[in-house]
Structure 1
Amino acid sequence: MKHLDARAALVPLPPADRAQQVTAALADYIQRSNLVPGDRLPAERELMSALAVGRSTIREVIRHFQALGVVEARKGSGTYLLKPISGTTIHMPLSLDTT
C-alpha cells in the first residue's frame, strides 16, 4: 500500500481566483449597503479583516475598480464610490493586454 502525503491534496487558491472572489464580495457589499456615488468604502484594514485576505489582494481589487472608473482612491482620505457597481461590472477582465 502506497502512503499518500496529505499535503498533496491541498492546493493553494490561485491569486487570480482570490481576487475574483474579493471583487465579487466587495461588489455585493456595495450593492447590499446601498452605497451611492460619493460614499466612502471601508478602509483597507477593515476589508482585509472582514474578507481574510492580504493587503495586496485588496489593493488589486481596488485598482480593478479604479480602472473601470467606478471608485476613486484619495490619498490619506480613503476610497470613494464614483458610479454604482453592478453584476456586469465585476465580470469585466481584471487586466487588459495592451501589447
Structure 2
Amino acid sequence: MVRERTVLGATGGDDAVRHEARRLRDAGQEVVYVGGGQTPEQLVRTAVAEDATALVVDADPDALGAIADLCGALGAPDLVVTPLDATRVGRRSR
C-alpha cells in the first residue's frame, strides 16, 4: 500500500496549519509540516523534494495563485494544492 504524503505550511502564521497537520497525522496520513512564514516557492520546492502528492497551505489568494503557477514551473503539475480553509468545510469549530 502506497501512503500519500502531504506537505502542510503557511505563508503567514502557522497556528491553524499546525492543528491541521496534527489532525491529519492522527488520522494516519503521512505529513510533512514546514510551519509558517514560508514563501510560495519554498512550499512548492519542499513538496517536490518530499515527493508529496498534496500541499495544504494557509495563504492569501495571491500566494495561492503563485503556488499554482510555481507547480507547473517547477515540474509538479499534478500536485494537489488545497487551501487550508477548504479542509475545514463541513467540520464544526470547537
Same fold flag (TM > 0.5): no
Q: TM-score range by the shorter chain?
A: 0.3 to 0.5
Kindly name which structure, 1 or 2, has the bigger radius of gyration based on alpha carbons. Answer: 1
**TM-score with structure 1 setting the length:** 0.32
Structure with more helix by fraction: 1
Normalization by structure 2: what TM-score? 0.33
Larger strand share, 1 or 2: 2
